[in-house]
């Protein structure tokens, strides 16, 4: 059976990992390569590294980090943050990344997804969608959650699938950093209406939340940061718990 995946996410700024609460108040939490290796040794199924530095220098540091990760880690990893054009994708894949996540740039230029799919295949594209359940329904947000778009979550998710995205990484801004569980209803809606894998993100606080994302939310993978970085949940314990709850995991 195909296993549900657990993906620790490392936000990287100037070569160090950080994690914010509701996209602000960043706290520092260590060297990304060392942390990534530790997660891999502990049973993480994939890793995700997001570059949250915007500067040219920061991007260069990040690309060097991607090469170090590729050299040392033997599980798949996704990188993203600030990917604007196909050359960014090429640079990150050439540094050894398996997949690249694109977010705002895809909303501003949807044809970018088609272009990446044609050049490198759908399997390299993780389309990250940040969305919030506003009074008039789920809306996409860009620029790290600062800019509301008229685009609805479900319409956009369907469009990125049709354009050739390989996976969708859906972050609920309402749930992110709050640690009260994932946005399971929206996740289930995505899973029911799409044929590509959905990665749940935003809201992990305890092990039951992961179980619910897989059972109620029907997610294929779940991504989290702070609960792993600060040792609140150990991945081997989480895997053992999910196994006990009859969820297929790679033990």
Partner 1 sequence: MNVAIVKYNAGNIYSVMHALKRLGITPTLTDDAELLSKADRVLFPGQGEASTAMSYLREHNLDKVICSLRQPVLGICIGQQLMCRHSEEGDTDCLGIFPLDVKRFQPVLHTDKVPQMGWNEIYDLKSPLFNGIKEKEFIYNVHSFYVPYDKEYTIATCEYILPYSAALHKDNFFATQFHPEKSGDVGERILKNFLEL
Catalytic residues: 11, 130
Shortest distance, CB of residue 121 to partner 1, whole angstroms? Answer: 6
Q: State the Cα torsion 83-200-190-22 to the nearest 10°.
A: -70
Q: Which is nearer to partner 1, 45 or 176 (CB)?
A: 45
Q: Which is nearer to partner 1, 120 or 154 (CB)?
A: 120
Shortest distance, CB of residue 167 to partner 1, whole angstroms? Answer: 7
Q: Which is nearer to partner 1, 18 or 128 (CB)?
A: 128
Shortest distance, CB of residue 152 to partner 1, whole angstroms? Answer: 22
Name the residues that contact partner 1, by CB under 8 A.
1-3, 5, 40, 45, 70-72, 74-76, 93-96, 98, 120-124, 166-167, 192, 195-197, 218, 220-221, 250
Shortest distance, CB of residue 90 to partner 1, whole angstroms? Answer: 10
β-strand partners of 168: 127, 198
Contact, 163 vs 132, CB < 8 A?
no
Cα angle 105, 109, 113 (rounded to 5 degrees) comes to: 80
* 5-13 vs 16-21, strand pairing mode: antiparallel
Shortest distance, CB of residue 192 to partner 1, whole angstroms? Answer: 7
3-state secondary structure (DSSP) of residue 103: coil
Give DSSP secondary structure letters for 48-100.
EEEE---SHHHHHHHHHHHHHHHHH--S-EEEESS--SHHHHHHHHHTT-SEE
Q: Which is nearer to partner 1, 148 or 250 (CB)?
A: 250
C-alpha closest to that of 35 among 59, 63, 15: 15
Give DSSP secondary structure letters for 173-242.
TTTTTT-S---HHHHHHHHHH-SS-EEEES---SHHHHHHHHHTS--SEEEESHHHHTTSS-HHHHHHHH
Q: Which is nearer to partner 1, 5 or 209 (CB)?
A: 5
């Amino acid at each position: 059976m195909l296993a549900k995946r657990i993906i620790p996410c490392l936000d990287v700024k100037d070569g160090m990992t950080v994690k914010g609460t509701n996209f602000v108040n960043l706290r520092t939490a260590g060297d990304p390569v060392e942390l990534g290796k530790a997660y891999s040794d502990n049973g993480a199924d994939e890793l995700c590294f997001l570059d949250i530095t915007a500067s040219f220098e920061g991007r260069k540091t990040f690309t060097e980090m991607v090469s170090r990760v590729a050299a040392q880690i033997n599980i798949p990893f996704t990188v993203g943050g600030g990917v604007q054009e196909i050359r960014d994708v090429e640079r990150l894949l050439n540094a050894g990344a398996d997949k690249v996540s694109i977010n705002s740039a895809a909303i501003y230029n949807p044809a970018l997804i088609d272009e990446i799919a044609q050049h490198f295949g759908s399997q390299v594209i993780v389309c990250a969608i940040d969305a919030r359940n506003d009074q008039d329904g789920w809306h996409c947000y860009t620029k790290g959650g600062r800019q509301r778009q008229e685009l609805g979550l479900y319409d956009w998710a369907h469009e990125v699938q049709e354009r050739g995205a390989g996976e969708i990484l859906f972050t609920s801004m309402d749930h992110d950093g709050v640690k009260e569980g994932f946005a399971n209803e929206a996740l289930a809606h995505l899973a029911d209406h799409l044929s590509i894998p959905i990665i749940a993100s935003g809201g992990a606080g305890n092990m039951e939340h992961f179980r619910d994302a897989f059972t109620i939310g029907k997610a294929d993978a779940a991504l989290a940061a702070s609960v792993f970085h600060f040792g609140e949940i150990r991945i081997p314990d989480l895997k053992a718990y999910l196994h006990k709850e009859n969820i297929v995991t790679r033990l």
